[in-house]
Amino acid sequence: MSDNDVMNSPFERALSKVTVDASPAQGQARPEATAEVPPPVQQRSSAPVGGDRRRRASDMDPTDLSRFAPSDADFLRFEERFGIGPDQRSTFDSAFRIVRTQVLQAIKDRGGQVIGITSPSSRNGKTVSSIHLARACARRAEQTVVLADLNLQRPLLAGYLDAREFRSGIGFFRGEGRSEDYLTHVEDSNLLLFLSDRGTSQSAELLASDRLKQGLEAFRSVAPETVVICNLPPILGSDDVMTIMPQLDGVVMVVAAGETGFKEAEEAAKMIPREKMLCALLNKSRYASQASFED
């Protein structure tokens, strides 16, 4: 392959659109690479969470997200656990404001709403990046965000956020209830969560099902300006991401500095239809340029 071929590869093109270093600046504390979260203790009841506090969606103003069950997700604990102290917060916030601006603009230009976050291989930082991106998007007053854990092989989002009070999305895929009843609302925000409590070896079958299409359709319409951010498995190594690809309007690819090989990244990028590639996000880089963090 010539240098020219490399520069014109899908991965290079994606990187040239936006490559954001989403790591703390050099010299600052690093997130704990070993941070693992115990699996959440789930509410197993098939009844909707929230009890009487929640009214049916149809009774309420569509912009009032308090109609959904309250989430017990703990974002402060998430930040502490992943080593984001007060000093790092503004760096992360700035980095993800750039990604947010790029991603929201690109998805709106395409007339779409559903964004998938994937990576070439496992442990590149998809789940952590999904959380940061969803929060950054939800900070826009007019923007509602549904953050959906569709990594049905390893649904760790709930554990990362210490969320315990939710109906596991696996139940929805198995045919129980309406997708809206699985959403929980993060208080004082425009953020809704769709979480699962355990992995399944049938993830590709569930992602290919009509239930997934119904769920995404409902999520798109929870409020007038909504984006759905889907935390996905790696694109290489299983067919989950290609299975859900027709339902996605755009894809963000997370690559980990020092971990993702070039060939691997290029192979992954080739699998994403060119028109769906929103941006590549460089994670775990040791270098961060403050100058590039301006929104």
Ligand X SMILES: Nc1ncnc2c1ncn2[C@@H]1O[C@H](COP(=O)(O)OP(=O)(O)OP(=O)(O)O)[C@@H](O)[C@H]1O
Of residues 149 and 181, the one with the C-beta less far from ligand X? 149
Minimum CB–partner distance for residue 262 and ligand X (Å): 18
Evaluate the CA torsion angle 104, 268, 284, 123 in order and state its sign. positive
Minimum CB–partner distance for residue 145 and ligand X (Å): 18
Minimum CB–partner distance for residue 187 and ligand X (Å): 24
Which two tokens mark 151?
Answer: 């990594």
Residue 67 found at the interface with ligand X (CB under 6 A): no
- Selected from 97, 154, 164, 185, the binder of ligand X by CB under 6 A is 154
- Selected from 126, 132, 167, 276, the binder of Mg ion by CB under 5 A is 126
Select the binding partner of residue 123 from ligand X, Mg ion, none (C-beta < 5 to 8 A, by kind). ligand X
- Selected from 6, 33, 47, 242, the binder of ligand X by CB under 6 A is 33
d(CA 282, CA 257): 6
Of residues 218 and 248, the one with the C-beta less far from ligand X? 248
d(CA 157, CA 170): 14
Of residues 223 and 245, the one with the C-beta less far from Mg ion? 245
Residue 172 found at the interface with ligand X (CB under 6 A): no
Residues 6+ apart with CB under 8 A from 224: 62, 63, 144
Residue 71 found at the interface with ligand X (CB under 6 A): no
Which of 216, 188, 180 is CA-nearest to residue 68? 180
Residue-by-residue DSSP string for 14-70: HHHH-EEE-SPPTTSPPP-TT---PPPPP---SSPTTGGG---GGGS-TT-GGGSEE
What phi and psi values does residue 217 have, to the nearest 5 degrees?
Answer: -60, -45
d(CA 119, CA 264): 10
Residue 69 found at the interface with ligand X (CB under 6 A): no
- Selected from 7, 29, 35, 242, the binder of ligand X by CB under 6 A is 35
Residues contributing to the site for ligand X (CB under 6 A): 22-23, 30-33, 35, 82, 119, 122-128, 151, 154, 156, 234, 283-284
